Structure 1
Amino acid sequence: MKWAAVMAGLMAWAGAGPAGAAVVPPALTAPWGGAHGLPRVRGVTAAQLETEYAAAIETMRSEIRAIANNPAPPSFENSVLALERSGDALERVHAVYSIYTATKSDDSIRAVAAKIAPLRQALDDEVALDPVLFARVEAVYRQLPNLDLSPDARRLTEVIRDRMLRRGARLDPAAKSELSRINAELAGLQQRFAANVAKDEATRFVEVRDEDRLAGMDEADRRAAKAAAIEFGKSDSWVIRNSRPAVWSVAKRANDPSLRADVWRMWMSRGTHQGETDNAPVASAILKLRGQKAKLFGKANYAELAFEGRMVPGPRAALDLLTDAWEPVASETGRRLAAMSEIARADGLPGPIAASDYLYYAEKLKQARFGFDSKSVEPYLQVARLLDAMMWAAERTYGVSFKPLPDVDVVSPDIRVFEVKRDDRAIGFLYVDLFRRDGKQRGSWASQYRAGRSGSVLPVVALHSNAEPGLEGAPATVDYEVANVLFHEFGHALHFLANSSPYAATGPLALPWDFVETPSLLNERWLLEPATLSRLAIHSDTGEPMPVALAEKLRRVVRFDRVFSVNLDYLATALTDLRLHMMADGREIDVAAEEAKLLAQMRLPGTVDPVMRALQSFHSFAASEYAAGVYTYLWSDMLAADLAEAFVRAPGGFFDEKVAKRYYDTIMSRGARVPASQAFRDFRGRDPEARALMRRFDLGSGETRGD
């Protein structure tokens, strides 16, 4: 791979390119054509999505009926494998649907999504709850000791059977009917919950009429606020968007405490406003239905149901994990708050530090202790160089290379597409979509638009974010936190791309949901490696590399801040999520009131707000994977810290070839071909050590840290 050529192309990437003529795509269910077999997405209409998605659902129904009604005796090929291979047309249209709903949405697309969600849920229920289909799978499962099948085929049979059981295959007919009703209602409510938060983010803002209130914010922040004002029709003012980058800029740097309070209140009140975006009744209905669903499975509450198939054995074990972390983290937080209060008093702040002041005085504390200003780092974190550094680190560590592909059909000209290879063999395709635009959901995330099947189908994955394009032709830059998140999400993308499973159903997303985050959390560790920083950290204005002293300050501050999960704001969110779902037994729950009680029981300092209030918690309520599962970030961070120690102690550190190859072979590329606990043992030679994460940050152990 000629990285100089790639880098030149990346640096020319400024968020704009030839838009191309409007193209009407072929049928969305048709096999993907073109030179690389990638989806055609330009020119898709909401009506086309709705029509073809509904048609693809009917096609899969026909495929499932054919499997269930096959007169031949059940076999691996005509039952398990046939089920695994069904739904290709639906997978293709769902990929385009996902691209539009997440990255190019509007009112018409959102209306279609509201219709599609329950239809798709109904189909999933039909597959899981079909008694004839399950009987055929069960028959193959019972024959496994006598069948001459590969280990992958045996594992596929086990995974599909277990998945059908967890979805209700053994419920009686009345319970199955009730489950289908509940799932359909949940699908619509979860879609509505996410839409409400998105609408609050897109439509609410804080208008600033007096520029003096922006004191402390730099020129780039002010220009962004002015650009937002023009967009919202407030050209004589400045506007702070209801988006994380804009809110954090104010929270960290604005000297005016009233402005910090106004902006923070806007951010923390998403989903709480009375009217059409009020998530209080939505979240309450979701919890009630989840509780009813748990009862159908004979569980006391939804948390018990959600833990089936996870690594952590049950909600009580997860509760212990979170509460064990609370005390040492709370003690350290108390010391920091005391130091911040001293700075605030000297600063003339009237009264105690409010939650809206936390980030501002956290910055002041880091300046006092380390001589560090987070804004000084941002010019060194150019978006194009970040992408180059991520790809370079992956190539050096795993031998993975990225080749830009021209003329691939995309929904926006700022998206780039790469062919990914390892050992001169294509292993997949990566879409890189890093800039904010209208119709795109906020935040950063990775998507798998097509699951890989080793030897036959290459995965198609995407890396998304919402960086602001550089103003007036300047390179786009991000703060350290966003850079770290990008390395995290790139870790997910690498995990999807590395998949060696011959079956989609035993790929990475079939892993327990409390293991899925582990490879991505580990990938964050490559960002601050000296070799990575030396490639990445070039000042956007001067072209000078980041001074060694500043790089060392950054490392010390990152260690001081600790990872996301070892902080009270996260622990409060995770504990609230778990406790609410342990209450979810079919009763009516006032989510906001119960959250307030839980936070009081935790003795969360008033200076600390949860990362997400319950009524804006996408993880808890907009999908089911993280319901009663926000704890997984702490669990996965512990696993990642343990895995990292193998690299730290190797001669080559995080770029050690032998350790990297063993990690790639035993975990990264393995998907769910073996249980996650076995994959971990195969790499580490033992079970995970719960002390690893606290050891990394010298919290509550006194043991030598692992970095």
Structure 2
Amino acid sequence: MKKHLLTPIALAIALAGCQSENKDQASNQSATTEQVAQSSDNQEMSNPFYSEYDTPFGIAPFEKIKIDHYMPALEKGIAEQKAEILTIANNSDAPTFDNTIEAMEKSGELLTKVTNVFYGLIGSMSTPEMQAISKEISPKLSKLSDDVYLNEDLFKRVNAVYEQRDTLELNTEQKTLLEKTYKGFVRGGANLNAEDKATLRDLNEQLSKLSIQFGENLLNETNDFELVIDDKAKLDGLPEGIVAAAAKTATDRGHEGKWVFTTHRPSFYPFLTYSTNRELREQLFYAYTHRGDNDNANDNKKIASKMASLRYQRAQVLGYDTHAHYVLENAMAKTPENVYGLLDKVWPASLARAKQEVSDMQTFAESTGADFKLEAWDWWYYSEKVRKQKYDLDEEATKPYFSLDNTMQGVFYTAEKLWGVTFKERNDLPKYHPDVTTYEVFDKDGSSVGVYMTDFYVRASKRGGAWMSSFRKQYKMYGDDVQPIIYNVLNYPAPIGDEPVLLTFDQASTLFHEFGHAIQGLLSDGYYRSLTGTSLPRDYVEYPSQVMENWMTEPQVLAQFAKHYQTGEVIPMEMVEKIQASGKFNQGFATTEYMAAALLDLKWHTLETAEEQDADKFEADAMANIGLINEIAPRYRTTYFSHIFAGGYSSGYYGYIWSNIFDADTWKVFEEKGIFDQDTATSYRKNVLESGGTEDPMIMYKRFRGQEPDPIHLLERRGLIAPK
């Protein structure tokens, strides 16, 4: 274990003591300094990040990690990585793959260890103290990144190795790591002159701070709003479970005896789907779609516009036409033109279908006595009515068959049938919140694969949405096979009393989706940490998760888990057939609202000006130009589009539909050969799940499929074109 140095504060006090002129004062100061130094040493010894975790599987000892452990460990991690990078850059030996590229890959162990925990928890256990740390450390991490990529001596060594790449005897992963490292430097500004490097540093620092602020504002906006109802008559149409959840929310928020609905999705979507009170639907819809757009302390309009401007300026400094050109160079799409090429093929059919859906709903509404033109806040309500009329399928009637516990068993059943992977719940492992459930994962030969954690319930400290990440990725670069620690986070309503959590069909699909990410992280089999698991282009990384959703609707799988939570009855085949028949229902809406957001993302990031925009006008003009109808709002409006302004999806939100092409093409194989065909499952595991980002994704996909994916399967699946 490395010897720990004094913290900067302790060192400053020590220096101050040495400089004292008064002898007695100096003596007293010296004693104080020794006490502070001893205290500092004690703090370092007690900081869990500074030693190996003495826990099963090396899981972080969450109960021992305190808020004041983060900043010292983060700063120490930054300092250590800086020192390691300087050692590599100043190495007098000739640059080689081992002493330069691999040495960089192995640098920053402490920083990786701390950030894995800190950024993992700030998404689901956010506090004002953690947000403050994030704001303070973000520019420091940005500076560290710049210090690496803008180090001229280091780049000379990287470049020297890169120029020898054709003569070096490197395996596939080594070639990939070398290529990504070299491109990282070039894209990070290594070839810029001194003035442009300084400009780049400033732009990166500003963007880092603004991204943090955007996310914080959105979290505050989402948590602050509440629709308080004190008249039971205004709950008409709402299912009993939704009403009970609203009563619990009201109690939790200090409104005993009332009902509260929020802009969190588990509250927002059911209300818009079932409430007969059109005025309240409009009120809640407005609150949801105006998060960050209220001209208050949490307003995100200027932040989004400023970020778009700064991203354009950065792209220009780096030699790219726009931010989208910069981002997409590393994606499978390669250029904005290629993205527009795909979206332009889908958009007309999608919009036409959405308009037909509006017409169907308008006709239905008028048949029930409505004398108004449908608006965006009516879509969920009337689409559910039309679904029931067309398919005799009531989403609320399906929920008893999709309890959370049973759906998890369906996920595990699918994984075992495909790859022989099994899950054993462990109650003796560290967890960061009581809601977390932890499993040890075993391969088909009985060997331990890793650890899988789930965190399913909505809470104020958790950002919205659903995601997968890791507290530790799989890798072998130190000799041993380090097992992954993977987690899924979702936002389902918390259980009430002894009643199980019942999921809508879409919520159950989301569980399968996020598990698709998790299984890729768990089954990863790579050497270098930066290439394993989900280290993939944004327009490919969603592919394995989307494929996973397909198994959920198969009768063989449904029979294993879709059982009534009270009677144990397996979901009736008649209901399964209705679910499958309605699979193309409302796809015009779903595809259009998604694509509107994807096109809005591209519009912001193909800007060819640094001039800051009026965000509301910019968005309105963008949507008018593509012909978006008033009855649909983009899935994400600018001011709460955290994917692109507080996440990693800028210029990449289109990636879900791009990945869908691979998903639909892959499922065609399973349909033809059998949904649990072992040869297909094994090839998919080897060439997609295990390989992560160790090679060019298209090469790996063609190795699995034998050809590039055909987009026609996606269009047919969504019902946007007639099947051949």
Moved more, 410-419 or 610-619: 410-419
- Return the alpha-carbon distance in structure 2 between the equivalents of residues 698 and 468 of structure 1: 32
Q: Secondary structure at the match of 1:145?
A: coil
- Return the alpha-carbon distance in structure 2 between the equivalents of residues 244 and 416 of structure 1: 22
> Is the Cα contact below 8 Å between 1:446 and 1:464 reproduced in 2?
yes
- 2:518 paired with 1:496: no
Partner of 1:433: 455
Q: Structure 1 residue runs of 4+, over 6 Å off?
A: none
Q: 2:660 aligns with which of 609, 614, 637?
A: 637
- 2:503 paired with 1:465: no
Q: Secondary structure at the match of 2:455?
A: strand
- Return the alpha-carbon distance in structure 2 between the equivalents of residues 32 and 586 of structure 1: 47
Q: 1:595 aligns with which of 619, 623, 641?
A: 619
Superposition deviation, residue 692 in structure 1: 2.1
Partner of 1:539: 564
Q: What is the letter of the counterpart of residue 306 of structure 1?
A: V
- 2:466 paired with 1:444: yes
Partner of 1:129: 150
> Is the Cα contact below 8 Å between 1:511 and 1:675 reproduced in 2?
no
Moved more, 689-698 or 677-686: 689-698
Superposition deviation, residue 26 in structure 1: 4.4
Partner of 1:101: 122
Q: 2:386 aligns with which of 359, 365, 371?
A: 365
- 2:475 paired with 1:453: yes
Q: 2:366 aligns with which of 340, 345, 348?
A: 345
Partner of 1:8: none
Q: Secondary structure at the match of 1:261?
A: helix
> Is the Cα contact below 8 Å between 1:421 and 1:428 reproduced in 2?
yes
Matches within 5 A, 1:276-287: 276-287=297-308
Moved more, 318-327 or 249-258: 318-327
> Is the Cα contact below 8 Å between 2:218 and 2:640 reproduced in 1?
yes
> Is the Cα contact below 8 Å between 1:302 and 1:585 reproduced in 2?
no
> Is the Cα contact below 8 Å between 2:376 and 2:632 reproduced in 1?
yes
Matches within 5 A, 1:376-415: 376-415=397-436
> Is the Cα contact below 8 Å between 1:29 and 1:92 reproduced in 2?
no
Superposition deviation, residue 265 in structure 1: 0.9
> Is the Cα contact below 8 Å between 2:124 and 2:461 reproduced in 1?
yes
Matches within 5 A, 1:105-504: 105-422=126-443, 423-454=445-476, 455-504=480-529
Give the TM-score normalised by structure 1: 0.93
Q: What is the letter of the counterpart of residue 708 of structure 2?
A: D
Percent identical across equivalent pairs? 28
Partner of 1:89: 110
Superposition deviation, residue 398 in structure 1: 1.5
- Return the alpha-carbon distance in structure 2 between the equivalents of residues 699 and 301 of structure 1: 32
Superposition deviation, residue 289 in structure 1: 0.6
**1:190-246, Cα deviation, whole Å (9 max, x unpaired):** 111111111111111111122111100021111111111122222242211221111
Superposition deviation, residue 446 in structure 1: 0.5
Matches within 5 A, 1:6-25: none
Give the TM-score normalised by structure 2: 0.91
**1:388-441, Cα deviation, whole Å (9 max, x unpaired):** 211221111112222222321112122122222223332322111112234122
> Is the Cα contact below 8 Å between 1:292 and 1:586 reproduced in 2?
yes
Moved more, 253-262 or 378-387: 378-387
- Return the alpha-carbon distance in structure 2 between the equivalents of residues 25 and 398 of structure 1: 42
Q: Secondary structure at the match of 2:571?
A: coil
- 2:588 paired with 1:568: no
Partner of 2:601: 577
Superposition deviation, residue 31 in structure 1: 2.6
- Return the alpha-carbon distance in structure 1 between the equivalents of residues 544 and 329 of structure 2: 22
Superposition deviation, residue 563 in structure 1: 9.5
- Return the alpha-carbon distance in structure 2 between the equivalents of residues 35 and 240 of structure 1: 41
**1:583-621, Cα deviation, whole Å (9 max, x unpaired):** 153221222211100111112111111111111101121
Superposition deviation, residue 67 in structure 1: 0.9
- Return the alpha-carbon distance in structure 2 between the equivalents of residues 644 and 563 of structure 1: 21
Q: What is the letter of the counterpart of residue 150 of structure 2?
A: L
Superposition deviation, residue 146 in structure 1: 2.2
Moved more, 206-215 or 233-242: 233-242
Larger radius of gyration: 2
Q: Secondary structure at the match of 1:471?
A: coil
Superposition deviation, residue 145 in structure 1: 2.3
> Is the Cα contact below 8 Å between 1:29 and 1:93 reproduced in 2?
no
- Return the alpha-carbon distance in structure 2 between the equivalents of residues 352 and 339 of structure 1: 12
- Return the alpha-carbon distance in structure 1 between the equivalents of residues 348 and 286 of structure 2: 28
Moved more, 263-272 or 689-698: 689-698
> Is the Cα contact below 8 Å between 1:25 and 1:44 reproduced in 2?
no
Superposition deviation, residue 622 in structure 1: 0.9
Q: Secondary structure at the match of 2:539?
A: coil
Partner of 2:7: none
Partner of 1:50: 71
Q: Secondary structure at the match of 2:694?
A: coil
Q: Secondary structure at the match of 1:688?
A: coil
Superposition deviation, residue 470 in structure 1: 2.0
- Return the alpha-carbon distance in structure 1 between the equivalents of residues 611 and 256 of structure 2: 49
Structure 1 stretches of 5 or more lacking a match? 1-23
Superposition deviation, residue 43 in structure 1: 4.0
Q: Secondary structure at the match of 1:515?
A: helix
> Is the Cα contact below 8 Å between 1:295 and 1:585 reproduced in 2?
no
Structure 2 stretches of 5 or more lacking a match? 1-44
Superposition deviation, residue 25 in structure 1: 7.0
Q: What is the letter of the counterpart of residue 636 of structure 1?
A: S
Q: What is the letter of the counterpart of residue 181 of structure 1?
A: D
Q: 2:629 aligns with which of 593, 601, 605?
A: 605
Q: 1:78 aligns with which of 87, 99, 123?
A: 99
- Return the alpha-carbon distance in structure 1 between the equivalents of residues 449 and 143 of structure 2: 33
Q: CA RMSD in A?
A: 1.7
Superposition deviation, residue 539 in structure 1: 1.4
Q: What is the letter of the counterpart of residue 647 of structure 1?
A: F
> Is the Cα contact below 8 Å between 1:302 and 1:581 reproduced in 2?
yes
- Return the alpha-carbon distance in structure 1 between the equivalents of residues 441 and 147 of structure 2: 36
Superposition deviation, residue 642 in structure 1: 0.9
Q: What is the letter of the counterpart of residue 395 of structure 1?
A: E
Q: 1:28 aligns with which of 38, 41, 49?
A: 49
- 2:38 paired with 1:38: no
> Is the Cα contact below 8 Å between 2:331 and 2:539 reproduced in 1?
yes
- Return the alpha-carbon distance in structure 2 between the equivalents of residues 152 and 306 of structure 1: 23
